[in-house]
Amino acid sequence: MWYKTYKNYKNYKTNETNGTNGTNGTNGTYEKYWIWGISMTLLFLLLFSFRYFRNEYRRHDYRLYLTQQLGRTVMEESDPYLFHRFLYYKDDKDDMNFRFLQGYSERVRKVKKETKNRSIILTGLVRDNGKEIIAYLETFWIPLLTKYFKEYAILLLENSSKDDTRLLLEKMKKKYQPHIILLSFPTSTPNFHEQKVSSSERTNMMASLRNELLDYLYHHRIQNISVFDESTTVLMMDPDLLGIMPEDAFLHGVWTLYHHPELLAVGSNTITDDHRIFDTFPFVPTYDSFEWTSEKDKKRHDDYIQLRYSQEIVWQRTRPLIMHSTFNGMVLYDFSRFQRKVYYPLFEEEDDSISPISPIKPISPMSICEHTRFHLQFPMGTIALDPLWIFQLQKNLF
């Protein structure tokens, strides 16, 4: 509009110079058009500036509020996924944004009091890269568990490390006695990243290793946790995943498990550097397929998950998403209600005497994650992913 006004004014000036204007009263008309165009341009810039500075004020207000309530500095650069949810909440009213903002901090503050009467067991598999894994445990996990929980234990299964991981874990065990329990798998296992190991063989191997952890939990008393009851939570995780996870993000996942009695398991929202869901293999939404007969089918599933859920899970969703299965690097379990469940390997025949990592032909050339087979034993509607339990993955050691 302003461009047309300027063009008309330019034509007027040209005609005036040529002596063809000035007798029909158009001089004042074009000057009015020109003034009107400038006025509209200034109004547009004024409105744009108002909206920009209003949004900047809101961002500053939200940053300040979150920093005060969570007890840590919250910035868009360090917390992009958390901050985006507050700033671009679907209801654009400021009071709704503030209530949403307030709810997150209140839940975190509430669960900090509740964990003081609860116990937690962190458990996972370790193979190589012990120096980096132990450093992450000592700088993040051990201080966090010590600070917020009544009792804690770390149960690790080391298997077939080629470096000094076993020795380093033994030293850590002595340092933090009696909180560290270290197991070893009696049989050497293949490295499926370096060797040609099929998906079904990997599933059998991982199922067997994780069952060693469950067997210890089911049949032995953790040294510093006297009983397993409703206060005990189990954090099943992959210790070789390193990244950024604020304490309040983890505590929000704990709150989700504590305050949704229908849930037996709550998974983390682990996000890669390119803003995608980390592990789509065990990511099975309700009523979605969970096994595939070829790598092509599996890839189709992975692409579908990223296309359908990445935007929602990574940037938008705030409420738990009910899942058939999820293991995005970490899952919290209500230990008292999932006892006696095991990781089932893929066998042609159900034979307990056969080692799950033996080269037995599987039932079919299915591609399925061991976590998915484990979660098939859970009632429908008891597993969820907490989008606000945000873990920004930086490095996968294995």
Q: Which of 240, 241, 236 lies closest to 253, judged by CA?
A: 236
pLDDT in tens, 130-160: 999 999 999 999 999 999 999 899 999 998 8
C-alpha torsion 28→30→31→34, nearest 10: 160
| Alpha-carbon distances, residue 363 vs 205, 360, 367 (angstroms) | 15, 9, 11
Phi and psi at residue 383, to the nearest 5°: -125, 135
pTM score above 0.85: no
The Cα 370–Cα 282 span in angstroms is: 8
pLDDT surpasses 70 at 98: no
Whether pLDDT at 364 is above 50: no
Going by C-alpha positions, the residue among 133, 141, 138, 384 that lies closest to residue 247 is 141
Give the pLDDT of residue 222.
64
Q: Is residue 237 a contact partner of residue 357, using CB atoms and an 8 Å limit?
A: no
Q: Where are the alpha helices (DSSP H) in the chain?
A: 2-17, 26-70, 80-87, 94-114, 130-136, 142-148, 165-175, 199-219, 247-258, 295-311, 335-338, 370-375
Helix axes 26-70, 80-87, angle to 10 degrees: 120
The span from the CA of 122 to the CA of 129, in Å, is: 18
The C-alpha atoms of residue 258 and residue 252 are separated, in whole angstroms, by 10
The tokens 């903002």 sit on which residue? 101
- Are 8 and 30 in contact by the 8 Å Cβ rule? The answer is yes
Q: Domain spans of the chain? A: 2-110, 116-396
Scored b (16 or more CB within 10 A) or e, 259-268 reads eeeebbbbbb
What's the CATH superfamily of 116-396?
Spore Coat Polysaccharide Biosynthesis Protein SpsA; Chain A (3.90.550.10)
Q: Are 173 and 180 in contact (CB under 8 A)?
A: yes
Q: Which two tokens stand for residue 287?
A: 């009523």
Average confidence score pLDDT of the chain: 80
- The predicted pLDDT at position 25 comes to 52
Distance CA 209, CA 43 (A): 68
Least confident of 207-211, 229-233, 290-294, 357-361: 357-361
What is the model's pLDDT at position 101? 67
R_g over Cα of the chain: 29
Residue pLDDT, tens place only, 148-195: 999 899 999 998 888 999 999 999 999 998 899 999 876 666 665 555
> Strand 232-237 vs strand 265-271: parallel, antiparallel, or unpaired?
unpaired
Cβ neighbors of 310 (< 8 A, separation 6 or more) are 275, 276, 277
DSSP state of 379: P
> Could you give the percent of the chain with pLDDT greater than 70?
75
pLDDT tens per residue, range 7-17: 554 554 555 55
